[in-house]
Structure 1
Amino acid sequence: MSLRQRVRLVVVLGSLIAIGPLTIDMYLPALPSITDDLGTTSTAVQLTLTGTLAGLALGQLVIGPLADAFGRRRPLLAGLALHVLASVLCVVAPTIGVLGTLRVVQGLGVAATSVVAMAVVRDLFSGSAFARLFSRLMLVMGLAPILAPTLGSAVLEATNWRGVFVVLAGFGVLLTLTALLALRETLPPERRRRGGVADTVRTYGALLRDRVFVGMVLVAGFAMAALFAYVAGSSFVFQDQYGLDERQFGIAFGAGAVGLITATQLNVRLLRRWTPQRVLVAALTLGTTAGGLLIVFAATGFGGLASLLAALWLVLFSGGLAMPNSAAVAMTRHGEAAGTAAALLGAVQFGTGAIAAPLVGVLGNDGLAMATVVAGGMVAATLALVLVARPHRMTDPEITPAAIPEPAVA
């Protein structure tokens, strides 16, 4: 694949994946106004974020096997169409219950973009090459969390929170056209798995019996939980506790995303000298240490908002190193069922995120609550690496273990 083709692939897939962070993050500055407009509580509004993450998790478990059975393009286009429909209906949602339900549907639709993008990368690359390309991919999709709150704030200046969903619907339409015109099918018919429900169950069973794969999935999941605890709590912590306005919140939130992106691009250079496993161990060591400092700063108020942001930046930086490398090790082991493997990886990531998001609200929606859940995610990721994956047993990511059973004849 030429450099030009790689750049085009990164831009197309990054744009597709970006709709997930945009769907999650773009309405964050509007959470307080949604609370007031719909006459509900901050915890109830945060549950709409949880609903989106739950939809993403569940949707990926369904889309993954479909992408292995019918190719990558058809499930992707169906998911984008569902996302556009749900976004349009969110514009007219009359109650928090209806909005929460539609956010679940949004998540179900957008799940197709992350599963298919991951599967396409695995169709074409493996091992360190996968990790390097995925890191480049995260540069493109990482712009979404930076731009989303700022874009959301700009929309709020022109209209109300419902206008955010108008923009999301329009972006969904644009991405549907992009997928139709610029993304070719990467899974030929002879490699598709059409063994039905029984084969899907066997495939998931084989994945779950691979201890290293499970460990890497848990690492990625808990790192994502730390990220979404930050996403869920940041608007209330920065705006309500520290008094930032919507525009200042967008800047502060974007600073954290810069840490994530910086790490993903540094990861490309690090992989020229070290394996994904070594980088992953160092990243989680840094993340756990920074998480401890985050709790101290939040509990004592030492250094004010600046210290809190610095510790958060380090946690997100470590997450930017951990997520592409854990995904690379996990996905490389099961290229023969890339869609299903990507689905399980994504489902665990967004499933843990769905749990972490409301947990911040339950604990109080303040700096200490957010810090506790963020740090807890990094500690759990480290424990998953040490106790489940066991770094000393992790082989070179270019080596694939025993293959998943061949699919039954349809």
Structure 2
Amino acid sequence: MRDPLFRMALVLGVLSAVGPFAIDMYLPAMPQVAADLGTTEAGAALTLTSYFIVFGLAQMIYGPMSDAIGRRTPMIIGVTIFLVATIGAALAPDIGWLIAARAGQGLGAATLMAVPRAVIRDKATGPAAAKMMAAIMIVIAVSPMLAPLTGSMVMLWGGWREIFVVLAIAALVSLCLILFVLPETLAPESRRPVRVAPLLRGAKRLLSDRRFMGLTMIGGFGMASFFVFLSSASFVYTRQYGLSPTGFSLAFAVNAIGFFTASQFAGYLAERYGMERVISLAITGFAGFALLLTAVVWLGVDHLPVVMAGLFLANACLGLVMPTAMVMSLDPHPDIAGLASSLGGTIQMLTGGIMIALTGPIMDNTVSTMVPAIALCASLAWGAAAVSLPRLRWRAA
């Protein structure tokens, strides 16, 4: 891959990491938030739920907007919203205020999920795009390793409010990158005005495309497995296994290492063996390891090293799945890449939110319920692949 594309991918990776950082950096502080604002664990979890829901829905705004006015302006608008909402979160006097501020963060951060994928589609397709996506995954994958650690370090000298101060600084840096480093990639002659009828036609075309929907749901259920982990991991690791916030951050980081390492081979493997073969094998590995870990935990072998090793292997497979699925879903739709990116992102985020809601009643903040919920998401992701990918569909028949 040429250096200019690699540099652009790294810039896009930094921008794309803002949203995950806003989630992961905050995780060690959730017990403190509940105590400080006089709310329950469920109330503290709503600060994540509000972020996810608005984050998912708002992508439907930024994608079409980026097709109409270019890629940079929607990102500038979104990051500005994120900055204002982050300041509001730092000043939150009660849990209701914080929930609303987190929703505002989701509204702003959504632009950094929807638009960078369209930028990649502007610059490359196929294995080259997979390599760019993998380069973005370098930065995104590092965030789950660094963000919780950063959050726990901030809590050593401050508290949960100072975490939002750090996020506000990150938003300012992102704004400078967009204004002064990132070029516009959508030529004026390629822009499509936002009109309701074409949007509906484009959405209908995408929603009726079995391959697009299948690949989107693969990513959606894969993301849902991560959301299930996010909603329960801090309580499982700190209460069942007695880890400190810093210890939780280190354990949490291990999960990202497998994802990060594997994602860097996605482009190379796709180029050598074909994207469909890579994703078929990887999604099978993801579901297989998740189900195996569930069986081991239910047999009573629920020691922390065993759980961490199982999640590491499952996430390594997921690291091959996510960038490949994203690229494959967008490749056939270059004329509506922004809409496809935003619709896919919205469906994936809503899928994650729905899975949290469905698994919530059975979750008791122990590993014996967390791991099966992750395995359920992995199995559904495999099912989506079996329906939409000819190679895997043939094998499953």
Q: Which amino acid aligns with 1:186?
A: T
Residue 102 of structure 1 deviates from its aligned partner by: 1.4
Aligned match of 1:20: 19
Contact persistence 2:78–2:109 (CA under 8 A): yes
Aligned match of 2:32: 33
CA distance in structure 1 between the aligned counterparts of 2:205 and 2:248, rounded to whole angstroms? 44
CA distance in structure 1 between the aligned counterparts of 2:84 and 2:297, rounded to whole angstroms? 41
Which secondary structure state, in structure 2, belongs to the residue aligned with residue 290 of structure 1? helix
Contact persistence 1:46–1:361 (CA under 8 A): no
When residues 28 and 308 of structure 1 are mapped into structure 2, their CA distance, relative to the original with a 3 A threshold, is same
Residue 122 of structure 1 deviates from its aligned partner by: 0.4
Range 375-384 or range 42-51, more displaced: 42-51
Q: Which amino acid aligns with 2:137?
A: M
Q: Which amino acid aligns with 1:318?
A: C
Q: Within 5 Å, which residues of 2 pair with 1:29-68?
A: 29-68=28-67
Aligned match of 2:379: 379
Aligned match of 1:366: 366
When residues 81 and 310 of structure 1 are mapped into structure 2, their CA distance, relative to the original with a 3 A threshold, is same
Residue 271 of structure 1 deviates from its aligned partner by: 2.1
Q: Which amino acid aligns with 2:112?
A: T
When residues 208 and 248 of structure 1 are mapped into structure 2, their CA distance, relative to the original with a 3 A threshold, is same
When residues 50 and 195 of structure 1 are mapped into structure 2, their CA distance, relative to the original with a 3 A threshold, is closer
1:311-364 CA distances to partner (integer Å, 9 max, x unpaired)?
A: 111111111111111111101011111111110111122222223345554321
When residues 346 and 127 of structure 1 are mapped into structure 2, their CA distance, relative to the original with a 3 A threshold, is same
Contact persistence 1:11–1:140 (CA under 8 A): yes
Q: Which amino acid aligns with 1:248?
A: G
Contact persistence 1:90–1:165 (CA under 8 A): yes
1:81-130 CA distances to partner (integer Å, 9 max, x unpaired)?
A: 00000000001112222211211111110000111110000001111221
Contact persistence 1:283–1:322 (CA under 8 A): yes
Aligned match of 1:226: 225
Residue 206 of structure 1 deviates from its aligned partner by: 1.0
Q: What runs of 5+ residues in structure 1 fail to find an aligned partner?
A: 395-410
CA distance in structure 1 between the aligned counterparts of 2:31 and 2:42, rounded to whole angstroms? 11
1:23-55 CA distances to partner (integer Å, 9 max, x unpaired)?
A: 111110001111111111112211211111111
Q: Which amino acid aligns with 2:94?
A: T
CA distance in structure 2 between the aligned counterparts of 1:162 and 1:274, rounded to whole angstroms? 48
CA distance in structure 2 between the aligned counterparts of 1:139 and 1:114, rounded to whole angstroms? 15
When residues 91 and 360 of structure 1 are mapped into structure 2, their CA distance, relative to the original with a 3 A threshold, is farther
TM-score, L = length of structure 1:
0.92
Residue 380 of structure 1 deviates from its aligned partner by: 0.4
Which secondary structure state, in structure 2, belongs to the residue aligned with residue 272 of structure 1? helix
1:240-293 CA distances to partner (integer Å, 9 max, x unpaired)?
A: 110011111111111100011011012233223211110111111111111112
Which secondary structure state, in structure 2, belongs to the residue aligned with residue 314 of structure 1? helix
Aligned match of 1:331: 330
Q: Which amino acid aligns with 2:300?
A: G
Contact persistence 1:214–1:389 (CA under 8 A): no
Residue 300 of structure 1 deviates from its aligned partner by: 3.4
1:34-78 CA distances to partner (integer Å, 9 max, x unpaired)?
A: 111111111221121111111110110111111111110110000
Contact persistence 2:10–2:135 (CA under 8 A): no
Contact persistence 1:50–1:358 (CA under 8 A): no
Aligned match of 1:158: 157
Contact persistence 1:233–1:357 (CA under 8 A): no
CA distance in structure 2 between the aligned counterparts of 1:27 and 1:323, rounded to whole angstroms? 23
Contact persistence 2:63–2:114 (CA under 8 A): yes
Aligned match of 2:72: 73
CA distance in structure 1 between the aligned counterparts of 2:144 and 2:74, rounded to whole angstroms? 25
Range 161-170 or range 266-275, more displaced: 266-275
Q: Which amino acid aligns with 1:384?
A: A
CA distance in structure 1 between the aligned counterparts of 2:193 and 2:345, rounded to whole angstroms? 22
CA distance in structure 1 between the aligned counterparts of 2:355 and 2:107, rounded to whole angstroms? 19
Percent sequence identity over aligned pairs: 37
Q: Which amino acid aligns with 1:85?
A: V
Which secondary structure state, in structure 2, belongs to the residue aligned with residue 273 of structure 1? helix
CA distance in structure 1 between the aligned counterparts of 2:132 and 2:105, rounded to whole angstroms? 27
Aligned match of 1:94: 93
CA distance in structure 2 between the aligned counterparts of 1:300 and 1:34, rounded to whole angstroms? 35
Contact persistence 2:219–2:321 (CA under 8 A): yes
Contact persistence 1:91–1:163 (CA under 8 A): yes
Which secondary structure state, in structure 1, belongs to the residue aligned with residue 242 of structure 2? coil
Range 301-310 or range 83-92, more displaced: 301-310
Residue 312 (structure 1) aligned with residue 311 (structure 2): yes
Contact persistence 1:276–1:328 (CA under 8 A): no
Residue 178 (structure 1) aligned with residue 177 (structure 2): yes
Contact persistence 2:385–2:392 (CA under 8 A): no
Q: Within 5 Å, which residues of 2 pair with 1:99-178?
A: 99-178=98-177
Contact persistence 1:72–1:116 (CA under 8 A): yes
Range 13-22 or range 188-197, more displaced: 188-197
CA distance in structure 2 between the aligned counterparts of 1:96 and 1:240, rounded to whole angstroms? 23
Q: Which amino acid aligns with 2:386?
A: V
Residue 392 of structure 1 deviates from its aligned partner by: 6.6
Which secondary structure state, in structure 2, belongs to the residue aligned with residue 302 of structure 1? coil
Contact persistence 1:216–1:326 (CA under 8 A): yes
Which secondary structure state, in structure 2, belongs to the residue aligned with residue 271 of structure 1? helix
TM-score, L = length of structure 2:
0.95
